[in-house]
Amino acid sequence: MEQSLLEALEGIFRPRSVALVGVSEREYNLGYRWVKSLLDAGFPIVYPVNPKGGELLGLKVYPTVGDIPGEVDLAILLIPREAVPDVARDCAQKRTKGIVLYTSGFGETGPEGKELERQIVKIARAGGTRVIGPSCLGPYNPSVKLITQYPFPRKAGAVGVISHSGFLFNYLVSCVAATGIGPSKGISCGSDCDLSFVDFLEYLGQDEQTRIIVAYLEGIKDGKRLLSVGRDVSRNKPIVIMKGGDTEVGREASASHTGTLAVPSAIWKTLCRQTGIISVDSFEQMMDTLIALYYLPRPKGRRVAVITAPGGIAVTATDACIKLGLELPRLSEQTRALLANLIGTLGTNLKNPVDLGPMGAMAAENYVKEAMRIVARDENIDMLLVSFIGPRTTDDVKDAKSAEALLAAIKEGGKPTVFSGASLQGWDRGELKFLRQSNVPVYPEARRAAFALSRLAEYSEFARSAQT
Amino acid sequence: MEQSLLEALEGIFRPRSVALVGVSEREYNLGYRWVKSLLDAGFPIVYPVNPKGGELLGLKVYPTVGDIPGEVDLAILLIPREAVPDVARDCAQKRTKGIVLYTSGFGETGPEGKELERQIVKIARAGGTRVIGPSCLGPYNPSVKLITQYPFPRKAGAVGVISHSGFLFNYLVSCVAATGIGPSKGISCGSDCDLSFVDFLEYLGQDEQTRIIVAYLEGIKDGKRLLSVGRDVSRNKPIVIMKGGDTEVGREASASHTGTLAVPSAIWKTLCRQTGIISVDSFEQMMDTLIALYYLPRPKGRRVAVITAPGGIAVTATDACIKLGLELPRLSEQTRALLANLIGTLGTNLKNPVDLGPMGAMAAENYVKEAMRIVARDENIDMLLVSFIGPRTTDDVKDAKSAEALLAAIKEGGKPTVFSGASLQGWDRGELKFLRQSNVPVYPEARRAAFALSRLAEYSEFARSAQT
C-alpha cells in the first residue's frame, strides 16, 4: 500500500500516546471510561483533555491538545461537533497521526454537517493528520494495549474486524472473541469522511497478525478501489462481509445512520464474485464461516460426502448442501464395497449421503470413524460433513476417547471435515464437546455446517483461480 | 374426521394395553428398553412377547400375541420383517387397534419388500387393525403414559409432533420440550404403508390438547387429501412443516430412506400457500416460529415497527424484515412528535426503524419501554421488533425490574412484540433473560426475530381469509 497511508495507519494502530479530548471526572462520563480502560489495559501514555484542567485518575488534565508537552499520535474526540475544528487545528499542528471523531451529527444530517466535515478534514490534513469517523469508536489493537472499550480481549488473536457501525463493531469483536480465535486488530470506522473502510481493509490485508478479516459494511465510497483492494487482499486472506442496507428501506435507514450510500444487492453480488469477498446475511453465518476458514484446510473442490447415522438427517443435510451449491457425487465402487463390508447394506445407504443406519447410530465411535476413513480416501470427495446422533453417554472419559478416535480419522483423511449435532440443544455435548475443544468445527444443524462448507469451497475456488 | 378412522387412532393414541413383540432380557435390547420406559412412565398394561417365554422386568413374557389373555390395543413389532405377517395375523384376530412396524427393509428396498408390505396391511385390516410404519417409533402420548422413548417428557404440553423419520421425531420432541411449550402428542409414522402422515395430521387437528402442529415430512402419498385436511386444520391451528427431499439428490436419499415419493419444491410452495401450512427450512426456524405462534396474539397485518438503540442494528434488522416480506411503514406524524419529545432528534431516527440513539442505548429501561408504548399506539403498526443492546448490568434485581417495565409496555401496547439480543452469546442475559422467563419471544439475532414475525403474519393472514 501507499507509503504515506501506511505510515498514517501505523501511527493510528500503534500510537505511542493517545489524547482523550472531552473527559470529565464523573464515572459515567464516556471520556472517563475510555481513559480508565486504556490505563487498566496498560497503555503507556494517556493525555486527558478538558478546558477546565485538573486531574483525572491520577493524570494531569490538559486544557487543550496544544498544551500537551509531548507528541500525540492519536487523538480521540468525545466533544460536540462545533468544538471539533479547533481541536483538529491543534492536532494538525502537533502532527498527530489520526483523529477519531466519536461525535455524530455531521454528513448524515444534511449539507451543513457535510460542509463542517469537509472543513475538519481540510484542517487536519494540512498537518498530515488523518480523520477517522465521524460516529465511531476508532482503532483497537491489543498488541500495543490500545483498548478503549472495556469488554474487549487483551490478548491478540488472528481476526481483523472492521465496522461502519460502532455498536456492531463491539458486537463483532465480542462474537470473534467468543469463537476462541480472537480479534487481532479492529477498527470502528464510522462514516468514512477521510480514512475509509477500504483503507482499513488494505491495512489489515498487509497486517501479518491478521489471518482473516470480518466486517460490517454499510456504504461504499470508492467502488473501484474496493474492487482492486478486495481482490488483492482476498488472494491471501479471506474477507467475510455482512452488508447492511441491502433493501430500499434498509438503505434509507443507513443514510440516516452513517450517511454513506448503501449499495444495491445486485451490484454487491457482482463485486463479491470479482473480489472473492465472502458475503453473509447474518453474524451467525459470519461466525460459522469464520470457524471453518480458520480451522480447516482448503478443499480441492465443492464435492461433499455427507455421513450420518439416521436417515432423516441424511435427507435434510443433503438438501442443505445442494441448495447451497455444493455437490454430492456418488462414491466410487471401491468405497461402497468397503462401506458395505463395514456396516452391511440392510437399512443403510452407501451412495452419498452415507446413511450408516441403526447400527451406525448405536455405536458411532466405531462405525462413524471407520466410515470417515473410507470415504476420505475416495477421489471424488473434497470435504466431509458428518452429522452425529449426539451424546449417548454422560461419561466424559468415554466421550473424550470417542472424540480422539474421530480426531484420528479426520487427521488421517486430511480433508476438511465438519460435524453437525443432532439436537439444537445437545449439539455441544458428548463427543462433540471434545471435538470442539480440539478445534473441529461443530455446528448445531447440518444446514449451518453446509453453509460454512459452501463458503469455504467458494473462497478456495477464488484463491486458486487468483493464484494462477 | 371419518368415525372408523377416529376410533382406530383413539385406540392407537390411548391404548389400554401395549404388546412389545421381540423383547429379550439383555439390557441393550431395544424391546427391553421400550418395556422399561413404559413401566417407568407408569403405563398400566404391558405385554412382552418372545417365542422363548420367560420373564422380563417382573412381567410374564408371552410366546405369541395370541397367547396374551387380555385385549391388546397396540402392538409394537421389533422383529425381522419375515416374522411380521404371522404376528399381524394374531393382532388382527385380537382386534388390535394398531400395529407399529419398527423394522425397516420393506417398500424402500424394492418390489419384493413392497409386496410384503401390502400383504401385511391386508392381513391386519381384515381384523380392523391399522398399520403404522414401517421404519418408525409409533405413537407418543404422555397424557396416558404412552412413552416408549426414554428422554421424552412425561408432562403433556401443547404441540403435536409428526415425523416420517424416526430419528428426527426424537429430535423434534426434544426441541419442542426445550422451548418449554412441550409436546402434547406425537407420532413417528415412518413410510406410511397404511395409516399415513395426513391421517395423523387430521387426528392432531381435532385433538383439543394440541394447539400447534410441527412436522417433518418427506413424501406425500395423497396430495389432494393433504390439501383439504391441511386447509381444514390450519384454519384453527398452525401447522409448521420442515420438508425433506427438497432437492433432486435429497429426493433420491429420501427414496432409500422412507421409500415415499418426495415432492418438488415448486409444488410444495403452492400447496403451502393454499393450505396455510407454514414451511420452514430448518429446525431452528421451526422452533423460532413455534415460540412466536404460541406466545403472541395474531397481528392484524404485516406492518412492523423496528425499535433499536444502536444504528447498525436498525439497518440490519430492517433489511431482514424487508427481505422476508414484512413492511416498515413510516410512523404517523403524531408518533414521531411523541418520540421526538421523548428522546430528541439528534443522533436518533424517528421514522421506522426507530433508532433511539446513544441515549436510548445507555438507559434502555427508560427510553425503550416508553418508545414501545408510543409506537404500539400507532395505527400503521401491527407488530413490534425490539432489538436490544443487551445486558448493561450484572444485577439480577435491576434486570428483573427493567424486564417488568418492558413487560408492562408490551401488555399496554397489546400488539405482538418480539425482542432480539445484541450478541450471539449474550442474548440470553440481563433483561432478556427475564423477558424469556415471562414467555416473551427473544431471539439471538434480529434476522431470526424477523423470520418468526414473518411466519406469524403469513399464518394470521391465512387464518383471517379462511374464516371469511
pLDDT at A182: 97
Q: Is A305 on the interface with B (CB under 8 A)?
A: no
Query: For the segment A222-237, what is each residue's pLDDT rounded down to a tens digit?
Result: 889 999 999 999 999 9
For strand B417-420 and strand B442-443, is the pairing parallel, antiparallel, or unpaired? parallel
What residues of B are in contact with residue A321 (Cβ under 8 Å)?
Answer: 249
pLDDT at B312: 78
Of the candidates A307, A401, A434, the residue with the CA atom closest to the CA atom of residue A361: A307
Mean pLDDT to the nearest integer, B457-466: 95
User: What span, in angstroms and rounded, lies between the C-alpha atoms of B310 and A168?
Assistant: 8
Q: Cell 498527530 identifies what position?
A: A96
Paired strand residues for B317:
none
pLDDT at A189: 96
pLDDT at A394: 67
From A155's Cα to the closest Cα of chain B, the distance in A is: 19
What residues of B are in contact with residue A359 (Cβ under 8 Å)?
Answer: none
Q: Would you call the peptide bond into B353 cis, given omega within 30 degrees of 0 as the criterion?
A: yes
Contact A167 B311 (CB under 8 A): yes
- DSSP for B88-114, written as a single string: HHHHHHTT-SEEEE----SGGG-HHHH
3 state SS for B299-349: CCCCEEEEEECCHHHHHHHHHHHHHCCCECCCCCHHHHHHHHHHHCCCCCE
Task: Map residue B266 onto helix, strand or coil.
Answer: helix
Residue A246: which of B216, B248, B319 has the nearest Cβ? B319
pLDDT at B467: 80
Contact between B290 and B213 under an 8 Å Cβ cutoff? The reply is no
Residue of A nearest to B353 (CA): A253
From A78's Cα to the closest Cα of chain B, the distance in A is: 13
A425 versus B356: the higher-pLDDT residue is B356
Q: Grid coordinates in use for B106?
A: 420393506
pLDDT at A260: 62
Contact B311 A258 (CB under 8 A): yes
Contact A253 B165 (CB under 8 A): no
Show the DSSP H helices in A324-429 as ranges: 333-343, 357-362, 364-376, 396-413
Please say if the pLDDT value at position B109 is more than 90.
Answer: no
Q: Is A445 on the interface with B (CB under 8 A)?
A: yes
Task: Map residue B64 onto helix, strand or coil.
Answer: coil
Of the candidates A259, A258, A133, the residue with the CA atom closest to the CA atom of residue A187: A133
- CA-based end-to-end distance of chain A: 22
pLDDT at B455: 98
**Percentage helix, strand, coil for chain A under 3-state DSSP, each rounded to 5:** 50, 15, 35
Q: Where are the beta strands (DSSP E) in B128-254?
A: 130-132, 138-140, 159-163, 183-188, 212-217, 239-243
Q: What are phi and psi of A233, to 5 degrees?
A: -65, -45
pLDDT at B91: 98
Contact between A15 and A146 under an 8 Å Cβ cutoff? The reply is yes
Reading chain A (468 residues) residue by residue, the pLDDT tens digits are 899 999 999 999 999 999 999 998 887 788 999 999 999 999 999 999 999 999 999 999 999 999 999 999 999 999 999 999 999 999 999 999 999 999 887 887 788 889 999 999 999 999 999 999 999 999 999 999 999 998 899 999 999 999 999 988 998 998 999 999 999 999 999 999 999 999 999 999 999 999 999 999 998 888 899 999 999 999 999 999 999 987 788 878 877 766 666 677 888 999 999 999 999 999 999 999 999 999 999 999 999 999 987 667 888 899 999 999 999 999 999 999 999 999 888 778 888 999 888 777 666 667 889 999 999 999 999 999 998 765 556 688 888 888 899 999 999 999 999 998 766 565 667 788 889 899 999 998 889 999 999 999 999 999 999 886
In this structure, of A16-30, B193-207, B325-339, B367-381, the range with the lowest mean pLDDT score is A16-30
Chain centroid, CA A306 distance in Å: 27
Tally A–B CB contacts below 8 A.
Answer: 189
Residue A282: which of B258, B314, B445 has the nearest Cβ? B445
Average pLDDT in chain B? 91
Inter-axis angle of helices A111-126 and A84-93, nearest 10: 20
Confidence category of residue B425, pLDDT binned at 50, 70, 90: low
Residue B249: which of A167, A309, A322 has the nearest Cβ? A322
Paired strand residues for B418:
B385
User: What span, in angstroms and rounded, lies between the C-alpha atoms of B263 and B217?
Assistant: 10
Per-residue CA distances from B269 to B250, B272, B378 (Å): 17, 5, 34
Of the candidates B450, B257, B97, the residue with the CA atom closest to the CA atom of residue A353: B257
Residue B175: which of A166, A313, A424 has the nearest Cβ? A424
Contact between A132 and A193 under an 8 Å Cβ cutoff? The reply is no
Residue A315: which of B218, B313, B323 has the nearest Cβ? B218
**ipTM of the assembly?**
0.83
Per-residue CA distances from A16 to A68, A96, A130, B360, B445 (Å): 14, 11, 16, 35, 38
Please say if the pLDDT value at position B77 is more than 70.
Answer: yes
What residues of B are in contact with residue A283 (Cβ under 8 Å)?
Answer: 424, 445
User: What span, in angstroms and rounded, lies between the C-alpha atoms of A100 and A75?
Assistant: 6
Of the candidates B23, B8, B258, the residue with the CA atom closest to the CA atom of residue B124: B8
**Percentage helix, strand, coil for chain B under 3-state DSSP, each rounded to 5:** 50, 15, 35
Q: Cell 412425561 identifies what position?
A: B154
Question: pTM score, two decimals?
Answer: 0.89
Amino acid present at A145? K
Q: Grid coordinates in use for A246?
A: 441491502
Amino acid present at B449? A
pLDDT at B426: 58
Paired strand residues for A56:
A59
- CA-based end-to-end distance of chain B: 22
Q: Provide the chain A residues 252-291 that lie in CB contact (below 8 A) with chain B.
A: 252-254, 256-258, 281-284, 287
User: What span, in angstroms and rounded, lies between the C-alpha atoms of B46 and B43?
Assistant: 7
From B382's Cα to the closest Cα of chain A, the distance in A is: 18
Paired strand residues for B185:
B160
Mean pLDDT to the nearest integer, B295-304: 97
Paired strand residues for B303:
B327
Q: Provide the chain B residues 27-66 that lie in CB contact (below 8 A) with chain A.
A: none
Neighbouring C-alpha atoms within 13 Å toward the C-beta of A197:
30
Residue B283: which of A245, A281, A424 has the nearest Cβ? A424
Of the candidates A447, A286, A433, the residue with the CA atom closest to the CA atom of residue B286: A447
- Helices (runs of H) and strands (runs of E) counted in chain B: 17, 18
From B438's Cα to the closest Cα of chain A, the distance in A is: 20
Inter-axis angle of helices B446-467 and B283-295, nearest 10: 60
User: What span, in angstroms and rounded, lies between the C-alpha atoms of A100 and A79?
Assistant: 11
Helix (H) or strand (E) holding B45: strand B45-49
What residues of A are in contact with residue B216 (Cβ under 8 Å)?
Answer: 312, 316
Residue of A nearest to B80 (CA): A346
Q: Is B242 on the interface with A (CB under 8 A)?
A: yes
Q: Is A425 on the interface with B (CB under 8 A)?
A: yes
pLDDT at A312: 78
Sequence-distant (≥ 6) Cβ neighbours of residue A146 within 8 angstroms: A13, A14, A15, A18, A38, A41, A43, A74, A139, A140
Q: Is B190 on the interface with A (CB under 8 A)?
A: no
Contact between B310 and A67 under an 8 Å Cβ cutoff? The reply is no
Please say if the pLDDT value at position B392 is more than 70.
Answer: no
Mean pLDDT to the nearest integer, B333-342: 95
User: What span, in angstroms and rounded, lies between the C-alpha atoms of B195 and B124?
Assistant: 12
Contact between B61 and B49 under an 8 Å Cβ cutoff? The reply is yes
What whole-number percentage of chain B has pLDDT above 70? 94
Q: Would you call the peptide bond into B416 cis, given omega within 30 degrees of 0 as the criterion?
A: no
Contact between A431 and A439 under an 8 Å Cβ cutoff? The reply is no
Residue A315: which of B135, B166, B257 has the nearest Cβ? B257
Mean pLDDT to the nearest integer, B262-291: 92
- B112 class by beta-carbon count within 10 Å (0-12 exposed, 13-18 middle, 19+ buried): exposed
